[in-house]
Amino acid sequence: MRIASWNVNSIKARLGHVVEYCKAGHTDVLLLQELKMMDEAFPHDAFQEIGWHVANHGQKTYNGVAILSRHPITNCEMRLAGDDSDEQARFIQADIEGVHVASLYLPNGNPCPGPKFDYKLAWMDRLDALADSLLASEKPVVLGGDYNVIPQAIDCYDEAEWLGDALYHEESRSRFFALLHKGYTDAFRAIHPEGAHYSFWDYQRGAWQKNNGIRIDHLLLSPEAANRLTNAGIDKGPRGLERASDHTPVWCDLALP
């Protein structure tokens, strides 16, 4: 089963690209971020017409996450536990074919320091608590999405440009690596431990054409999921399309029992 994650930067603007990606068989499950759309406006019909199932958690203008699947989606839950006052639509989780998947859109955190960075760190602490509980379930788990974290220098085209930025801040990175130290696996780096590979290229300054990118979209696997990992990669094709998102899909293949 292939699971992909894609920050589409507006499902309205990128609907045709997303539907075609699903129709073309590039993935079996697609985790979406940054829908920028209320739940009632989500284009369910476009995916139902191609036989796909949808679970979405939206918000007007900002944020928004969804899970798309060619298989039935069960046990869907929205919102990340730990802060009942948090109304930002950044989290959704569900079960698909015995695999627990979550689509995450972590806060950017800039400017740093400041309230937005504090919110980012608090959100990551809540994610850490969820990660613990999911490990205890001993189920195959995939925590996929736009983490807004550059893990290492190799994951950005110019480390100096990102020093002091919330995406590359020591506290952001330490929380990301805390998940790995618990036993989660960075699917992409498990298959491609070396080399500079990116999932995001800014719209400015010809970043895409110059390959000035960063890797901030990740699929983290619990031990039970990592044991099934057969391949992983970054699909650059959608980033080269007309009116593309500034992110491109990242994916992993899991063997089903």
Whole-number Å distance between alpha carbons of 168 and 149: 6
Whole-number Å distance between alpha carbons of 45 and 53: 10
**Where do runs of H (alpha helix) occur along 108-252?**
115-137, 159-162, 170-182, 187-191, 207-210, 223-226
User: CB 153: neighbour CB atoms within 10 A?
Assistant: 12
Q: Which of 163, 83, 97 is nearest to 125 (CA)?
A: 83
Q: State the total domains in the chain.
A: 1
Structural Rg of the chain based on CA atoms: 17
Please name the residues in contact with 78: beta carbons below 8 A apart, sequence gap of 6 or more. 57, 89, 91, 92
CATH number (domain holding residue 70): 3.60.10.10
Residue type, 102: A
pTM here is 0.98
Q: Which of 249, 237, 219 is nearest to 104 (CA)?
A: 219
Residues of the domain holding 74: 2-254
Strand partners, 57: 65
Helix (H) or strand (E) holding 18: helix 11-23
pLDDT values of the chain reduced to their tens digit, one per residue, 257 residues: 999 999 999 999 999 999 999 999 999 999 999 999 999 999 999 999 999 999 999 999 999 999 999 999 999 999 999 999 999 999 999 999 999 999 999 999 999 999 999 999 999 999 999 999 999 999 999 999 999 999 999 999 999 999 999 999 999 999 999 999 999 999 999 999 999 999 999 999 999 999 999 999 999 999 999 999 999 999 999 999 999 999 999 999 999 88
